[in-house]
Amino acid sequence: MLLHDLLAKFGGESAQIEAPPMLATCSLGCLNTMKSHHNSSFQDRLKRAADSKNKALEKLRSRPPVDPTVLAERQATQLKRQAVEADKRAAKAAVARDAKAAKAAGVAAAAAVPAGPTETELKAARDARYAARKKRK
């Protein structure tokens, strides 16, 4: 339905209505609201890029300088934070070292426990049982 048909249907005036400016559409028929750089020349795009770069540099230059006392406080805070992190790393390394030592002590203790009877001892015990059984019969 056209716009003037809608106005006529709902009691509006059917006077000439200006159509909105043409909008670009994609191949699927959707409206393209992004700026098009297809109509601009390469020089225009270079100029826009340079202007954007200069604008960003001006914004950076316009920042106020950092106060030396604030800078000293930040550095002190950073040093404290680094010291705390170093302490944490040292504590973690100590825990790992202690765990490794405990594991080594456990392995050494397991090695110190006498092993079961050797194969020759087991064979001698079996032979003794066999001889005792033969003797009983």
Predicted TM-score (pTM) of the model is 0.37
Structure tokens at 75: 């550095």
DSSP notation for 14-67 = ----PPPPP--B-TTS-B--SPP-SSS-HHHHHHHHHHHHHHHHHHHHTSPPPP
Q: What is the pLDDT of residues 29-74, one digit of tens each?
A: 565 566 665 677 889 999 999 999 999 999 988 888 889 999 999 9
Residue type present at position 113: V
**Given this model, what pLDDT does residue 132 score?**
92
**Given this model, what pLDDT does residue 85 score?**
97
Does the pLDDT of residue 19 top 50, yes or no?
A: no
Does the pLDDT of residue 77 top 50, yes or no?
A: yes
Please give the Cα distance from 125 to 119 (Å, whole number): 10
Does the pLDDT of residue 133 top 70, yes or no?
A: yes
Higher pLDDT, 1 or 68: 68
